[in-house]
Amino acid sequence: MASPISDQIDAVADACFIASHRLTQWVSNAPTMEEDVAIGNIALDLLGQARGLFATLGDEDQLAYFRDAQDWHHPAICELPNGDFGHTMLRQFFVDVWLGQVWPGLATSSDRPVRGVAEKAIKENAYHLRHSSSWVVRLGDGTDESHHRMRSALDDLWPHVGEFASDGWVTAVSRTLIDATLIDATRPLPRAEEVPRREPAHLVELLAAMQALAREHPGATW
């Protein structure tokens, strides 16, 4: 039987890998060239974190390219399609806050490789969170159009946060959402309910694209 800590490592590794892939879909499509570079760097950080944890769990390529959708353990929000740029930044902000709360615990692991990944990831996540939260505030408290889009993104994404929405997570997220004028300080966010995981249609589609080459040429070396 898997232990809670090993389950958490599985979830974090998978979350970082899937989130990284979703962010790479913005490279060359971001609002500015500078943002293309920033998103690419964040995606590479997340990929490195995923690889570091995969290496503690087994064969990296097997875990990344030869598992079917039902064998992945990340929060489902990570696999959702990107939507517009604000939607992506809000989703990434939610994930960044969660990872910011998870990494410190893994940094105390008795497993030295896990501890090493986590210690490095804490520093990287601080930048990721600063980046995503600044965009949430910039767009939420921007024009009428950007505010409306961010409010729609919040309505769309909130039903998917229940897998990691602890009280501490909600408190941390709320501060930024208030700064972004997306919620009112006098009216708390609705309770984040954990909903049953549905058939992962988005993940099936994502994996089909991401794993196609490796599955077509199993055992190939590059």
- What is residue 189's predicted lDDT score, i.e. its pLDDT? 81
Per-residue pLDDT for 82 more than 90? Answer: yes
What's the topology of domain 4-216?
Answer: Ferritin (1.20.1260)
- What is residue 191's predicted lDDT score, i.e. its pLDDT? 78
Q: What is the 8-class DSSP label of residue 193?
A: P
Task: With cut-offs at 50, 70 and 90, classify the pLDDT of residue 1.
Answer: very low
Nearest alpha-carbon partner for 133 in 95, 163, 185, 184: 95
- For the segment 40-80, what is each residue's pLDDT rounded down to a tens digit? 999 999 999 999 999 999 999 999 999 999 999 999 999 99
Q: How is the chain split into domains, by residue range? A: 4-216
Q: Which residue has the higher pLDDT, 1 or 125?
A: 125
- For the segment 164-216, what is each residue's pLDDT rounded down to a tens digit? 999 999 999 999 999 999 999 877 787 776 665 555 789 999 999 989 888 98
Say which residue the tokens 């159009």 belong to. 145
